[in-house]
Amino acid sequence: MEQLKFIGKRLVYLVIMLLGVATLVFILTKMIPGDPTVANLSQRALSDPEIVAAYRARYGLDKPYIVQYFLYIRNLLQLDLGTSIRTNNPVLQELMRCYPATIELALFAIIIAALLGILFGVISAIRRNSILDQIVRAISVTGVSIPSFWFALLMLYFFYYKLHIFPGPGRLSNSFSAPATVTGMYVIDSLLEGNPAKALDALSHLFLPALVLAMFTMGLITRTTRSNLLDVMSTDYIRTAKAKGLGRAKLILRHALGNALIPVLTVIGLGLGNLLGGMVLVETIFNWPGVGQFAYESVMSADYPSIIGVALLIALNYMVINTIVDILYGLIDPRVRCK
């Protein structure tokens, strides 16, 4: 019952927050300089008042801002995010088209980042100040500081262009057609289609961009895991466990790591939220048609409905992820459950 109450409360907050975000982004998009008519009509068309008037009427830009706002909120409550000025398609349809590509990439990236980050963090902590620790710290610092677009080009240049180890940009090789859309995630949809070769091809296309995206979050996870594990290892209960003669591996894995992982979960959650917002440069280099590219194109076209749609999606990402992280806290730390 308590759990249901908690979830119910969260949902109400979620709706209020989303309306708040929608309002804020609506005001901001109207305040910043930029006219969709100028951004999308040609120089010749702009010289023709009839064409300009027809364009403004088509996208409701001829109405006062306040009317535009209430129409937008009314439509939003009916899950209608409006029509993209750039593509003339419903924004929801556009987001549903590009979001699965981002989710697929982000999930794969966060899995790599979490697995490697925690592993490196543990190694670094238990071999503190050793050569191994120095190497791991160097990798994590590099991961945090390396510009992603440069790393992306480097990875593509060596592993695709020079060494031919990984496939090139895009989500699938040219020999495959896109799988029938069920989830929009090519690996899963290819498997559902009963085509493991296509799924494997999609998976292999994921690897390089995911590794590039994982680098930054992996660096953060490594550093957070290391410092937290070192903190936990110096606590009284660990000393007691040591004194009782508990083995090193059991001590770390059973008693220390669980507690050290709580802040790491936050980092993973934030990292995933960040990745789900789309990464313009990496998506551009790897020819990945995700939310980042869509957001970039929308901003360049002053496509207000799409910009607000992307902002709402990002806000929703963080809210959902934070809720999941809160629940996971409870699973990892019994004290949180008791509270």
Partner 1 sequence: MKKKLLAAVLCLAMALTTVACGSSNTTDSTESSADQTTGDTASSGESGSNTVVVAMGSGFSTLDPGYVYEKYPPLVINACYENLFKFYTNDGAPEPCLADTYEFSEDGLTLTVNLKQDVTFASGNPMTSADVAFSINRCKNLQGNPSFICDTIESIETPDDYTVVFHLTQQDSAILSKLTYSSLAVLDSEVVKANGGTDAEDASTTDTAQDYLNTTSAGSGMYVMTSYIPDQEVVLEKNPNYWGEATNVDKYILQIQPDSNTQMMTLSTGDIDIAMNMTDDTMAELEGQENVALINAPTKTVGFVMMNMNEEYGGPVSDPQVQLAIRKALNYENFKTICGEGTTTPYSIIQVGFMGSKGEKAADYTNVEEAKQILADAGYPDGFDIDMTVTDLDMEGVPLTDLAQLIKSDLAQIGINVNIVSEPWAAGYGDAYRDGTLGFTVMYWATDYNDPNVQLEFLPGKTVGLRAGWTEEMDPELSALYDEAMAATDNDARIAVLEQIQDDTYENGPFIMVAQAPAHIAYNTRLEGVTNSDPYSLDLTLINIVE
> Least CB distance from residue 73 to partner 1, whole Å?
25
Cα–Cα nearest to 232, from 338, 122, 313: 122
Per CB under 8 A, 59 contacts partner 1? no
Question: For the chain, how are helix, strand and coil distributed in percent, rounded to 5?
Answer: 75, 0, 25
Task: Give the Cα separation of 252 and 119 in Å (integer).
Answer: 12
Q: Which stretch binds partner 1 (CB under 8 A): 6-14, 50-58, 69-77, 307-315?
A: 50-58
Q: Are 336 and 258 in contact (CB under 8 A)?
A: no
Residues that bind partner 1 (rule: CB under 8 A) add up to a total of: 78
Between residue 276 and residue 305, which ones bind partner 1 under the rule CB under 8 A? 284-287, 289, 293-294, 297, 301-302
Quote the least distance from Cβ 141 to partner 1, whole Å. Answer: 22
CB of 48 to partner 1, least distance (A): 6
> Which tokens sit at 183?
């989830």
333 binds partner 1 (CB under 8 A): no
Q: How far is the CB of 61 from partner 1 (least distance, A)?
A: 13
- Which amino acid is present at 74? R
Binders of partner 1 among residues 15 to 44 (CB under 8 A) are: 32-36, 38-44
Q: Return the number of the residue (218 or 315) whose C-beta is nearest partner 1.
A: 218
Per DSSP, 159 falls in state I
Name which of residues 249 to 278 contact partner 1 (CB under 8 A): 249-250, 253-254, 257-258
Give the nearest distance from C-beta 146 to partner 1 in angstroms: 17
Choosing from 132, 203, 328, 332, the residue that interacts with partner 1 (CB under 8 A) is 203
Query: In this chain, which of 174, 236, 245, 338 binds partner 1, going by CB under 8 A?
Result: 174
In the complex, minimum distance from the CB of residue 98 to partner 1, in angstroms, rounded to a whole number = 7
By the 10 Å C-beta count (0-12 exposed, 13-18 middle, 19+ buried), 243 is classed as: exposed
CA pair distance 124, 137, nearest whole angstrom: 7
Q: How far apart are CA 94 and CA 15, in angstroms?
A: 22
Site for partner 1 in 181-200 (CB under 8 A): 193, 195, 197-198, 200
Q: Of the candidates 96, 116, 18, which has an alpha carbon nearest to the alpha carbon of residue 290? A: 96
The footprint of partner 1 on residues 303-332 (CB under 8 A) is none
CA nearest 93: which of 78, 101, 83, 106? Answer: 83
Verify binding: residue 6, partner 1, rule CB under 8 A. Answer: no
HSE-CB of 336 using CA atoms within 13 angstroms? 11
CB of 40 to partner 1, least distance (A): 8
Residue where the block lists tokens 């929308």 = 298
Residues in 111-170 at the binding interface with partner 1, rule: CB under 8 A: 112, 115-116, 119, 153, 156-157, 160-161, 164-170
Per the CB < 8 A criterion, the answer to whether 128 and 235 are in contact is: no
